[in-house]
Amino acid sequence: MHRVAIIGAGLSGICAAAKLRAAGIEDFVLLDRGDEPGGTWRDNTYPGCACDIPSVLYSFSFAPHAEWSRTFAPQPEIRRYLLEVAGESGALEHLRSGCEVNDASWAGDRWRLATNQGTIEARSIIAGTGPWHEPEIPNLPGLADFEGDVFHSSRWDHDADLGGRRIAVIGTGASAVQFVPEIAPGAEHLTLFQRTAHWVLPKPDRRISRFEQRLYRRFPVTQRLMRTAIFSFLEIFNSAMHHPRVMRRIQRLGGRNIERAISDPAERAALTPAYTLGCKRVLMSNEWYPTLARDNVRVVPRAVASVRADGVVDSDGRHHEADVLILGTGFKILDMPIAGIVRDAGGRTLAEAWQGSPRAYLGTSVAGFPNAYLMLGPNIGINTSATVLMEAQADYIVEAIESVGDGVAEVRPEIQDRFNDRVDAALAGTVWNNDCRSYFIDSTGRNGFSYPWSARDLQRRLGTFRPEHYVLTQSPVREPSAA
């Protein structure tokens, strides 16, 4: 039996593994269904894929990287960085690749994981599967009958020849904003189906000079100062999201972004969101609107109703011919698949406990599921780098595991409820709970994604494991099994 089992070897899983090793905890296993680590940055290989947080902050404080080529690093660089951290931290020594967890059940004093490589037992589990991993495939009538190439953006088919073809793209979110400008120039025609317009701000991206890279390598404090400055700026931006009136002023940048590229008044109106900036994920691009203004690109400001063998039918019943169908339809954010396989002592899954409305304490612990910890769990979404949140959580989880030892820790239901009540009250009146329907909102109408305070506040709350917030018990002594 292992002391800890980490499920998922993406950024959050690697972070947890690195923190465990730094604390001297070596008895753990890192499980991932892929052939190598990477998670989101292994699976998302679509053209133009890049982070939308400056890379100097979208990296771990314990593993600075001076070689970023751009302010916002492209996917291949982030993937290489992740593999480097996994190797240098020693996480790879604990990795079992190609290991898919099909069930994780609490057995009274340990977790029993059923995998395709056999049963694994662990005193504690850390779920590092993340919310941007499992694609959301729309339930469209006729989708299986489409005769051309069809794939989700996170499962990009690099063998599909897109040159000179009629491409239909469903979705205008973060992924589409990146890949559409890359593929549109080579298409015969690209039809983009937009159910809801998004605010897309200018992206302050640029190439990082060799001088800057040498400066960061020779004087690491300069990179730390840049990291602090970007973090502080994002904290200010996050604070503005508590005031819709302020965000409506900032969204003028998005309006000017549209006006510079789109001359047709009707198209401008169709591309201008009706909600306040921040109600949905804030997007950035310098190529998005110029691409939509191309002669071979058409925006259909309507949802898709069905798919036929040779094209797509919109909600007005109009048919649009296509040879290729690309689904830019996002991910299972609040209905994370891992919630369907993690079970308490009575066999109830985490998904059944949540009943469509994910809740946790500090996005990390869930009442009824002892010795189980989530990375990037419910209500931990903040407009900052996910790596900042990962580090804070991993430190908290490691402290919890050290404090409990061979015992059992389960967050008190009243503590979890009190925390969520405060979260709900603080979210009222913010842009996140304002005037649109986004993936922040769960099936019950509750915001199960956003953290209503600052990243510094979350770091403070996660800075100390408080045993009084948990029910702590010693593990029962097991009798040796009969021979």
Degrees, nearest 5: CA angle 278-283-287: 150
Whether residue 321 is found in the same domain as residue 336: no
**Percent with pLDDT over 70 in the chain:** 98
- What is the distance in angstroms between the CA of the first residue and the CA of the last residue of the chain? 19
Task: Tell me the C-alpha distance between 196 and 42, whole Å.
Answer: 29
Write down which residue in 327, 342, 365 finishes a domain: 327
Is the model's pLDDT at 478 over the cut of 80?
no
Distances in Å between the Cα of 461 and the Cα atoms of 114, 266, 456 are: 34, 48, 9
- Mean of pLDDT values over 149-154: 97
pTM, whole model, 2 decimals?
0.95
pLDDT band at 60 (very low <50, low <70, confident <90, very high): very high
Predicted local confidence at residue 133, as pLDDT: 75
Question: Distances from the Cα of 139 to the Cαs of 193, 304, 333, 421, 469, in angstroms?
Answer: 15, 10, 17, 34, 42
Q: Which pLDDT does position 481 carry in this prediction?
A: 36
pLDDT for 435 beyond 80: no
Whole-angstrom CA distances from 443 to 103, 334, 360, 439 are 24, 9, 16, 10
480 pLDDT higher than 60? no
Identify the three-state secondary structure at position 405.
coil
**At which of 272, 299, 327 does a domain end?**
327
Q: CA-to-CA distance for 165 and 323, rounded, in angstroms?
A: 6
Residue 284 within a domain? yes
Query: pLDDT band for position 482 (50/70/90)?
Result: very low
* Residues 18 and 91 reside in one and the same domain: yes
pLDDT digits (tens, 9 = 90+) for 97-109: 999 999 999 999 9
At residue 313, φ and ψ (nearest 5 deg) are: -110, 125
Q: Could you tell me the maximum CA-CA distance found in the chain, to the nearest angstrom?
A: 81
Q: Which of 257, 292, 327 is at the close of a domain?
A: 327
Q: Over range 382-406, report the average pLDDT.
A: 97
| Claim to verify: residue 317 and residue 342 sit in the same structural domain | no
Is 368 part of any domain? yes
The pLDDT-based confidence of 479 (bands split at 50, 70, 90) is very low
Residue 336 has what pLDDT?
85
Q: For position 118, what pLDDT does the model report? A: 97
Q: Is residue 423 part of a domain?
A: yes
> Coil, helix or strand for 388?
helix
- Tell me what pLDDT residue 224 has: 97
Q: Are residues 125 and 27 in the same domain?
A: yes
What range defines the domain where residue 367 resides?
2-134+332-473
Let me know whether 251 and 357 are in one domain.
Answer: no
> What span, in angstroms and rounded, lies between the C-alpha atoms of 295 and 410?
59
Query: In total, how many domains does the chain have?
Result: 2
Give me 39's structure tokens: 């998670």
252/323 same-domain check? yes
Helix or strand (DSSP H, E) at 150: strand 149-152
- State the pLDDT confidence band at 143, using cuts at 50, 70 and 90: very high
- 234 assigned to some structural domain: no
Evaluate the CA torsion angle 103, 449, 420, 453 in order and state its sign.
positive
Same domain for 56 and 148, yes or no, is no
* pLDDT average, residue stretch 157-176: 97
Mean pLDDT, residues 112-125? 98
Average pLDDT over residues 226-245: 96
Domain identity same for 154 and 293: yes
Question: Is residue 226 included in any domain, yes or no?
Answer: no
DSSP H stretches of helix in 39-186: 40-43, 75-88, 174-183
Overall average pLDDT of the 5-22 stretch? 98
CA 302 to chain centre: 26
Check residue 437 and give its pLDDT. 82
Q: Average pLDDT in the 127-144 region? A: 90
Q: Supply the pLDDT for residue 476.
A: 53
19-28 pLDDT, tens per residue? 999 999 999 9
For the segment 425-434, what is each residue's pLDDT rounded down to a tens digit? 999 989 999 7
pLDDT tens per residue, range 351-381 = 999 999 999 999 999 999 999 999 999 999 9
- Coil/strand/helix, residue 459: helix
444: CATH? 3.50.50.60
Q: In this structure, are 311 and 386 located in the same domain?
A: no
Predicted pLDDT of residue 165:
98
Q: In this structure, are 375 and 257 located in the same domain?
A: no
Same domain, 357 and 266: no
Residue 475 predicted with pLDDT over 80? no
238-258 mean pLDDT: 94
**Alpha-carbon gap, residue 25 to 196, rounded angstroms:** 47
Examine the domain organization and report whether 29 and 65 are in the same domain. Answer: yes
